[in-house]
Amino acid sequence: MARKQTRRSISVKGTTYQRIKHYVGDNGGCIASFVEQLLHEKLGDPTDEDRKKFGEEMERREKESAARKAEEKKDELAGYIDPITFF
């Protein structure tokens, strides 16, 4: 079973990305950690309500994904003949 995906992407201007990349290259670390640190400084810790909303959204997406996979599996098995029927 695949791990839950908890990362999302954001877009920044090319020059902003290069500036961050050079900064972390000179000072160590990675771009993701740098951005997380800045956001934490500006936004603080997530509230219980934030965590609850995120959890509900993740649950909804997982259910949609499971339903989609089940439908794909059903389509794959549409022409399946159980080998025992040949005996």
pLDDT tens-digit readout, 57-87? 778 888 888 888 888 877 777 777 777 777 6
Q: Does the pTM exceed 0.85?
A: no
> What average pLDDT does this structure show over 45-57?
82
> What average pLDDT does this structure show over 45-52?
84
Task: Quote the Cα angle for 67-70-72, to 5°.
Answer: 110
* CA neighbor of 50 nearest in space, from 62, 41, 58: 58
Residue for token pair 């089940």: 70
> Under a CB-based contact definition with an 8 Å cutoff, are residues 24 and 31 in contact?
yes
| Beta-carbon-side half-sphere exposure of residue 66 (alpha carbons within 13 Å) | 9
Domain assignments of the chain as residue spans, ordered by start: 12-44, 46-80
> Under a CB-based contact definition with an 8 Å cutoff, are residues 47 and 36 in contact?
no
User: What pLDDT sits at residue 4?
Assistant: 62
pLDDT at 2 over 60: no
> What average pLDDT does this structure show over 39-52?
88
